[in-house]
Structure 1
Amino acid sequence: MEYRKLGRTGLEVSALCLGTMQFGWTADETQAAEVMDAFVAAGGNFIDTADVYSRWHPGNPGGISEEIIGRWLQQRGNRRQVVLATKVRGRMWDGPNGEGLSRAHIIQACEDSLRRLQTDWIDLYQTHWYDAETPIEETLRALDDLVRTGKVRYIGCSNLPAWRLTTALWQSDKLGLARYDALQPHYSLVHRAEFEREMADLCREQQLGVIPYSPLAGGFLTGKYRKDQPLPESARANSVRRYFTERNWVLLEAMESLARTHGRTVSQIALAWQLAQPVITSPIIGANSVEQLNESLGAVGLGLADDEIKRLNDLSSWATLGLAWLPDGARRPVPAGGLIRTCT
């Protein structure tokens, strides 16, 4: 396993972060424990969850993932070896203050997460998405209080537009408050623009750690989905349909070719592409089984050549949407009916 500093902080985290949205949803507690055991055995120390996981699943009130992790931490007695991240924002109880980023919600939600996780502190406490109804100063002051009391060590954010993150960083600097030291963006080879348009440069300049979620695009970048074939059995299969474009099938074919060249898998190529970027700290991987986990872990140490990275960048660039790569290396406007199939 490789380790990297989380942004400008002194905190060292594993090059891959274990996401746990699936715990209590597509992975039961036994499977979750097996995955966490294998992750730690491989040198992983960074685990990410959220209080709302997985509230959308029938019968799940939220907090289940945190409870599973909390029991595992107690049983293994390894809290000090784990960098634990969770998130706050979503609805967790009834009433007008049951969600949001107000002081009232943040302080209570943090106490609830600490209880479920069976720990005295959270290493990285993240705002899950922004709250347009609450002043950013109120949110930051509440988070700063949690840092000062030792209940939280670092703070981060997720799903923020660049201007809101800039405002938050400015307010922290102006008011002398704890500042966001990490960003959790939605980012993958087939979802690049949201992060790359503005956020990547902002994170680089402000030295934020970047821990992207969905780096495998919900499974699309594992190679298990095929053009003109039925969807495999999966709780997330329908949400992956949005990636079924001619452009992305061409990209996937190129990734399969690279995987064969390196003797690796498509998912390892997708993760290695992210790990090669200096601005990226630790992509978040999910796994329902140890087998799935081990496949993702195989991306660590996989070095792609500069020309291979350029090829992937060119095929997936949001700046060239509406253009198609042709065999002669040129690009042409996309004709009616979709992209030209050009991968060679």
Structure 2
Amino acid sequence: MFLVAQFIDYKNRAPGGYSVNEKGLSRKHVVEGTKASLERLQLDYVDLIFAHRPDQDTPMAEIVRAFNFIIDRGWAFYWGTSEWSAEQITDAHRIAENLGLIGPLMEQPQYNMLHRDRFEREYAPLYAKYGLGTTIFSPLATGILTGKYNTEIPADSRLAHNEYFKKIAVSLETVEGKAKLAKITGLQPIAKKLECTLAQLALAWCIKNPNVSTVITGASKPSQIAENIQALSVVPKLTDEILSEIDAVLENKPESQPKKTTKVFTDTD
């Protein structure tokens, strides 16, 4: 068992919102928040603690020192980030190295078939340079990659009831949203060929990426947990040929390097 805790920097909390000491990644909030979290969990320590979202208002050196304080106290073994930019992660490592401290060893980013650029392109230099591990979330793109929203929004789904997710339902009616659904329909023949569900194909595709350490899944029914676990048997079926077929349907594979531009000179230049 691997125990994880994280700081979530919500901007507002009813009725009065957060006080200045109840948000962000200041040393005070990180230390007091960690102690409170361990008390709620009735634990002496966690294995990993995440800085959930970057904090533009706190100096990076303070953030790095704060999480190393947590590690030095034995309250966590390692620390990581969530949805930080590659530049921010690199900055944290630079400061940690200069101070003789531990930099972030894990990143918790969104990653799925429809959301690839940051994970595959922006973070690419970090995996080898820092041995960066990843704990990805939303591998099914809020359920969109299961195919259950391809024709309608089921009345019993969270997209029909939850106010936040209703916005996603509305987005599926746009030109861009319909294009996403068309791609998911295009994945169905591949899933059929591999004898798996669309959800299993999407999860296996994430797991196949060697830079994915952990996949965070969610389920509202026991049957969905079983379906998710069975995705492991699909991973070996994802050959280079199958992956190329998937990329041909998705049409969103990030370029490994930025496009180079060439200026054409004329006699008038």
Query: TM-score, normalised to structure 1's length?
Result: 0.65
Aligned match for 2:240, one of 306, 312, 318: 306
CA RMSD of aligned residues (A): 2.1
- Give the secondary structure class of the aligned counterpart of 1:221: helix
Cα offsets for 1:201-245 (capped at 9, x unmatched): 323432111111101000001111123x34543224524333563
Greater share of residues in helix = 2
Cα offsets for 1:17-71 (capped at 9, x unmatched): xxxxxxxxxxxxxxxxxxxxxxxxxxxxxxxxxxxxxxxxxxxxxxxxxxxxxxx
Aligned match for 1:271, one of 203, 223, 230: 203
Percentage identity across paired residues of the two chains = 30
Q: Is 1:284 the counterpart of 2:203 in the alignment?
A: no
Deviation of 1:139 after TM superposition, in Å, equals: 0.9
1:311 aligned partner, one-letter code: E
Q: Which runs of 5+ in 2 are unaligned?
A: 160-164, 256-269
Contact 1:121 1:152 in 2 (8 A): yes
Q: For residues 191 and 290 of structure 1, what CA distance do their matches in structure 2 show?
A: 27
- Give the secondary structure class of the aligned counterpart of 1:101: coil
1:235 aligned partner, one-letter code: R
Relative distance call for 1:264 and 1:318 in structure 2 (3 A) is closer
Q: Is 1:233 the counterpart of 2:156 in the alignment?
A: yes
Q: Is 1:90 the counterpart of 2:9 in the alignment?
A: yes
Aligned match for 1:172, one of 96, 105, 115: 96
Q: Which runs of 5+ in 1 are unaligned?
A: 1-81, 322-344
Q: For residues 116 and 143 of structure 1, what CA distance do their matches in structure 2 show?
A: 19
Contact 2:71 2:77 in 1 (8 A): yes
| Residues 1-344 of structure 1 mapped to structure 2, 5 A cutoff | 82-91=1-10, 94-227=18-151, 229-236=152-159, 237-241=165-169, 242=171, 245-302=177-234, 303=236, 304-318=238-252
Deviation of 1:283 after TM superposition, in Å, equals: 1.2
Relative CO higher for 1 or 2, CA cutoff 8 Å, sep ≥ 6?
1
Deviation of 1:269 after TM superposition, in Å, equals: 0.2
1:85 aligned partner, one-letter code: V
Question: Which residue pairs with 2:260 in the alignment?
Answer: none
Q: For residues 319 and 94 of structure 1, what CA distance do their matches in structure 2 show?
A: 40
Cα offsets for 1:146-195 (capped at 9, x unmatched): 11111101111001111111101111111111211111111110111232
Deviation of 1:309 after TM superposition, in Å, equals: 0.9
Q: For residues 158 and 164 of structure 1, what CA distance do their matches in structure 2 show?
A: 11
Relative distance call for 1:155 and 1:313 in structure 2 (3 A) is same
Q: For residues 212 and 249 of structure 1, what CA distance do their matches in structure 2 show?
A: 22
- Give the secondary structure class of the aligned counterpart of 2:50: strand
Deviation of 1:118 after TM superposition, in Å, equals: 1.2
Q: For residues 296 and 320 of structure 1, what CA distance do their matches in structure 2 show?
A: 26
Larger gyration radius, structure 1 or structure 2? 2
Relative distance call for 1:265 and 1:190 in structure 2 (3 A) is same
Deviation of 1:85 after TM superposition, in Å, equals: 1.1
**Higher mean Cα deviation, 229-238 or 138-147?**
229-238
